[in-house]
Structure 1
Amino acid sequence: MPGTEPEPHAHSQSLRWRLLRAVFATALLVWGLNAVLSYTQARHEAEELMDGHLAQAARLLLALVRDNESHLEDLATRLASVRSQEKHRYESPLEFQVGRADGSLLLRSAHAPAKSLAAAPGYDDVSHAGHPWRVLTIASTSGDYRVQVAQSIDLRDRTALEVARRTVLPIALISPALLLLLYYSVRRALKPLDELAADVASRSPENLRPLAQNAAPLEARPLVSALNRLFGRLDDTLANERRFTADAAHELRTPLAVVRIQAQVAQLSRNADDRQHALQQILLGADRATRVLEQLLRLARLDPLAGLPHPAEVDLAELAERVLSDARLAAADRCIVLERSDDRLLISGDAELLAIALRNLLDNALRYTPPATTIRVIAARQDGEMTLGVIDDGPGVPPTELPRLVERFYRGSAARAEGSGLGLAIAQRVAELHAARFELENLPGGGFAARLRWPRPPAA
C-alpha cells in the first residue's frame, strides 16, 4: 500500500537514528580518550613505581654490602639463591654490580649489564646483549662503595602494559552495556513522539480535534501547536466548503425551480404573449441564479483567507471613481454622485476586493432605494478617518434589523427587489481583511450609510 513501505535511507532520515549516532559517537569518543589517557597515566605510574622499587633495592643492597664487608662472597651466594626462588609475575629479575669508588668490581650478578661503576649516580638507559636496560647507580655516603641495579626495559614494559591493560579493561567491558542503555534511553525518550505520530496517523479525515499538548515533550510542543493551528485552518476550510455547498443548494433551489416551472409553462403555452412572459421569467431566474453563484464564489474565496496574500498600494479615491464610472453606465437613470478628497487616500490592500465591496454597497443602494433617491459614493476623510462607502437619502432600514444585515442571505423585511443577501456579508469580510471597520447606520437626517473606515492611515 502506498505510504506503508519505508523510503530508501529511512534510517538516515530518522530522528531516533540521528540521535543515536550522535550519542554513540560522542560516547565512544569520550571513552576512547579516557582509555588512552588512562593507559598513558597507568603506564607512567607503573614505570615510576618500578623506578622506586629499583631505588629501594639499590639502597637495601648497599646496606647489605656495608653490613657484610667481611663476607661478601657469602652475600653473593645468598643473593643468587634468592634469585632462584619462584617469582611473582610482577617481580622482574634484578641484576646488580657492587664495587669500589674507583670502579673496581666486588660483586656482580650473572646477567648484569657491564657498565662502569665510576659512572655518575642516577638513572640511565643502556643496551646490553641487544636489549635495553634501566640502570640505577648509587654511592654510599662515605663514598667507599658503589652499587648498580638494573632491570630489563622489555620486562618493565610488559609489566607496565599489563597494569595499564587491567586499568582500561573495565571500560572496554562496560561499554557495550552502556551503549545498550543509551539505546533504550533514547527510544524511551522518543516514545511520546511515536505516540503522537500514531495518534495523527490513526485519525480519520473528519477528526480535526486539537492534539493534547500536555503529553508532548517540551521540544515537540511547537510542532503540536503548529499541527493544531493547521487542524483549525483545515476545519475552517471544510466548514466553509460545507457551508458553501449548503448555501448554494438552498439558494439555487428556488431560482432553478422557477426556471423549470417557467420552461414547462413556455413549453405548454399556446399563447405567444404567455410564452414570451415565461421566457422572460426564465431569463430573470437564470440571472438571479448567476448572481447568487457569483456572490457565493466570492465568499468561498474570501472565507479561507487569514490575510491579504499580495497587498499593494491602493488609492481609495481613484478606486471609487473607477467603480462609479462603471455603475453610471448600468444605472443612467439614477442620480449617483462622487464625493472624494483632493489628496490621495493611500492604503495597503487589494484593489480588486475593495472594488467588489464598493460595487456591492452601490448595488444594494440601487436595488433597495426609491428611483428618486440620490446616492453618494464617498472616498474622503471623515472625522480624521479614511472612509470608503455609499450613502443614500432613502428610507433606511428598521433599527432592529441593522445587526442582521451582514448575515448571509438576510435581506430585510422591507426588501422588495430581488437580491442574494450576500453583498453586505462580502463587504464586511473585505473590511476584515483590510483591518477596516464596517459600519451600517441610519443617518439622523434620514438616509442610510454603509462604509468601510480606517481609524488612521495605514502604511501604504
Structure 2
Amino acid sequence: MMTSLQHQLSLWIAVLIVAVSVVAGSFSFWLAFDEAHQLQDEQLRQVAALMDVHDLLPMPDRNGRAVNDYPDARVFIFRLGTHTNAKQTELQMVGLLNNLADGMQTVSDRQSEWRVVIRTLPNGDRIAVGQRTAMRDEIARDGALRTVLPLIGLVPLLILLTGFVIRHTFKSVMRLSKDLDEKGDGNLVSLSNDGIPKEILPFVASINRLLKRLALSMAQQRRFIADAAHELRSPITALTLQAENIERADMPIEARQRLAPLKSGLIRARSLVEQLLSLARHQSNQTTDFEIVSFDIIVRNVIKELYPFAEAKHIDLGIEQEEPLQVWGDAFDFFTLTRNALDNAIRYTPVNGKVDVSFFLEGNQMVFRVEDSGPGIPEDDLSRVFDPFYRIAASGETGTGLGLSIVRDIATRLNGIATLSNINNAGRSGMRFQYSQSSCRTRLDC
C-alpha cells in the first residue's frame, strides 16, 4: 500500500492539534468556570458588607410574595429569625439558614440548591445573601464557554495553516521528483541541492552518486556497441564481397542454392551492424548544436531514396498532404527518423499495398505521418515496439528491431513525440506512424 509522508504528517499533526486543543480547552474551561464561581462568592460577600456599612435592611415582604415569585432575581437577601407573614417556602429557607454559622455556605431546600453568605449585623440581626447554584453555574458556564470559543475557532485554522506549511516544505521534494521523472538515459545530470532541506541532502547525494554510476555504465555499454559494430563492419563487408564473387563463378546448382541463404544472412548482418552504429551514434551525440531545417525537403529526399524498394514490391508510395515546414533540430536526426519510419512501412506492407506520407502544420505543431496498408500490430505489442531489438514474432519480415528504438531516441533529443497505432477505419487496416514537434521559422519561435 502506497503511503504519503506529507499526508501522514498532516494527519498526525492534525490529530495532535485536536488532542492538545481538547486538553487545553477543557483545562481553560475548568479554570474559567472555577474563577467565575469565586467572583460570584466575592459578589455575595460584598453585598453582605454593604448591608453593614450603609445600614441597609432586606426588602420587606410585600403582599406575601415568596422567593419563587422573583425568577429574574440573581441575588436574594434573607432576614433570619421568625417571620409570621412569610410564605411557607420562605419559612423553610429561613429555617435552614437559622442554624448555620456565619460565613459562606452551600445549602439545599426541597426545590433547589443555594450558595449563601451569612452575616450578623451590628444591631444583632442576622442576614443571609444567597444565589441559586443553578443560576451561578449557568453564568459561570457561559463565561467559560466564551473563554474557550476563540480556541475552538482557531483549531481548524491552525490545521489548515499546518497543511499549507507542510505542502510548502515538501515543494523541494516534489521538485526533485519532477526532475527525476524528466530525466532520460541521455540526461543523467546530477540533481541540484539548491533549496533542499539538510535532512534530505544525504538522500539527494546518494541519488547523484547512483546517476553517475548509471551514466558511466551506459557510456560503457554504448561504447561497447559502437566498438563491436565497427569491428564487425569490415569483415562482414569482406564476406559479402566474397559471396558476390563466388556467385559470379561457375558452380553446381546445388551449391548456388546453398549460397543464396548465406548471402541473405550476410545482408541481414550488415544491416544489423549499420543499425547498431546508427544507434550508438545517436545515443552518444547529445549536442544541442541545432539549426533551422527544411523538413519537407528531407522527406522528399528520403522518398526518392526508398522509392526503388517500394517499386520492387509494387507498393503505391506517395505524398497525401504536404506543406513547407521549418523545424529546429539536426538535419541528420530528421533524415534518420523519416527513413526508419518509411523503411518500416515499406518493409511490412504486402505486395501491391499502399504507403501514404503526410507532413503538415497543425496549430503550432509540425506533424509527420506515415500510413500503410500492412497487417498492423497486435495491441499487446504496441507498447514494446520502441524497445531495442524487439520484433513481432509472426511478422515474417527480416529486420534488426532497432529502427523504432532509434526513432524514439531522436524524438526524445528533439523534444518531439513519436507514436505508432493501428488503423481501424471502416474498410481499411494498417499502421499509422506519427511524429510531431514544435514548428518554427526562427530559433526564438521554438
| Category of TM-score, reference length = shorter chain | 0.3 to 0.5
Normalised by the size of structure 2, how large is the TM-score? Answer: 0.48
Larger of the two Rg values belongs to structure: 1
